[in-house]
Amino acid sequence: VRVAIFATCLGDQLFPDAVVASVRLLRWLGVAVTFPEAQTCCGQPAFNAGHHAEARSLARHHLRVFAGSDPVVAPSGSCAAMVRCHYPPLLEREAEHLDAARALAARTHDLASFVTDVLGVSDVGADLAGERVTYHDGCHALRLLGVSEAPRRLLRGAGATLCEAPGHDVCCGFGGLFAVKHPEVSAAIAAAKHPGIDASGAATLTSQDAGCLMQLAGSLRRTGRRIRTVHLAELLWDGIARANGQPREGGSRAP
């Protein structure tokens, strides 16, 4: 099995540890990983803001970068959903790109679903025994891709204690540009999740989406909360290292 990693622009710039962990996790599971270096951004910020000419330019670029037939794996539900759900309608009137868009949509996956559904692995061989973890459902993973079980299965498979937070499926308020266009509302939405996260009793908050984690970690930290916030891929890779007698890697960001 060979896949192309779709680092996503947030992953590339702000959460490289999560992408590195994703690559290592995939290789650990016997998957060869390529990184098409010309990748930039899938265009979601432009698409969501209504700048569809710009979004189409970026989508065409993304199609060229990820040409071929390898599955594409992103450590993000939101960016995977952009390609899977929005590329085909976005390029509907471009006959020369539409087939490629549909094909790419079909072979683009979020990391957790790729591991559980394509590789058929629930237990990645990580040791998270005794870790109290709460999983935040990114909205696009949950509602556009229908992903809610895959990440939880991986956490349970690693022996983590899953502590569901009330409101785990409610938006964190990030919303891309929304977070800076409406900063007060965006932050108020994040703050509304704090009581649920507190009540979960978890020591670690994880998600598949860097955007949500950035929002929640920044908001939790601003209010003095000290729960560890870490991307699912890093959490799993840490657990694999621990299972194999390695000290935990740095890079996990505790607010």
Partner 1 sequence: VRITTERFHEQARAALADPELRAALDRAADGFVRRRSDAMAALPTLEALRSQAAAVKAHVLDHLDHYLERFAEALEAVGGHVHFAADAAEARQLVLDLARRYDVSTVVKAKSMISEEIGLNQALADAGVRAVEGDLGEFILQLAGDVPSHLIGPAIHWTRPRVARLFAEHLGSDPEADAQALTEVARTALREVFLSADMGVSGVNFAVAESGSLVLVENEGNIRITTGAPRVHVALMGLEKVLPRLADVPTFLALLARSATGQAASAYVSLLTGPRRPGEVDGPEHLHVVVVDAGRSAVLADPALRDALRCIRCGACLNHCPVYQRVGGHAYGWVYGGPIGAILDPGLLGLPRTRELPQASSLCGACSEVCPVKIPIDDLLVEHRRRAVERGLTGRGERWAMGAFAFLGERPGAWAAAANTARAATRLRRDGDWLTGALAGRLPGLGAWLRERDFPAPAARSFRQRWRDGLRHEPSARRDAVGFAGTGGAGIDGYGTGGAGSGGAGIGGAGTGGDTDGEGQA
Neighbours of 246 (CB within 10 A): 10
What does the per-residue mask of binding to partner 1 show for 129-168, with x meaning CB under 8 A?
----------xx--xx------------------------
CB of 16 to partner 1, least distance (A): 4
Choose which of 181, 201, 226, 248 interacts with partner 1 (CB under 8 A).
Answer: 181
Choose which of 132, 156, 182, 225 interacts with partner 1 (CB under 8 A).
Answer: 182
CB of 227 to partner 1, least distance (A): 14
Cα separation, 161 vs 45, in Å, equals 35
> How far is the first Cα of the chain from the last one, in angstroms, to the nearest whole number?
36
What does the per-residue mask of binding to partner 1 show for 99-128, with x meaning CB under 8 A?
-------------------xxxxxxxx---
Choose which of 179, 227, 230, 233 interacts with partner 1 (CB under 8 A).
Answer: 179
Footprint of partner 1 on residues 195-254 (CB under 8 A)? 214-215, 217-219, 221-222, 240-241, 243-246, 249, 253
By CB under 8 A, residue 48 contacts partner 1: yes
Choose which of 24, 84, 97, 152 interacts with partner 1 (CB under 8 A).
Answer: 24
Footprint of partner 1 on residues 75-104 (CB under 8 A)? none
* CB contact set of 202 (below 8 Å; sequence gap of 6+): 132, 133, 134, 163, 165, 227
Q: How many amino acids of this chain bind partner 1 (CB under 8 A)?
A: 93
Q: Within its chain, how far is the Cα of 175 from the centroid?
A: 14
**1/106 with CB nearer partner 1:** 1
DSSP conformation class of 64: H
Choose which of 185, 201, 226, 248 interacts with partner 1 (CB under 8 A).
Answer: 185
16, 35, 71 from 32: Cα distances, Å:
19, 10, 11
Residue with tokens 């290592």: 24
CB of 183 to partner 1, least distance (A): 4
Exposure string over 74-106, b if 16+ CB within 10 A, otherwise e? bbbbbbbbbbbbbbbebbeeeeebbebbebbbe
* CB contact set of 14 (below 8 Å; sequence gap of 6+): 210, 214
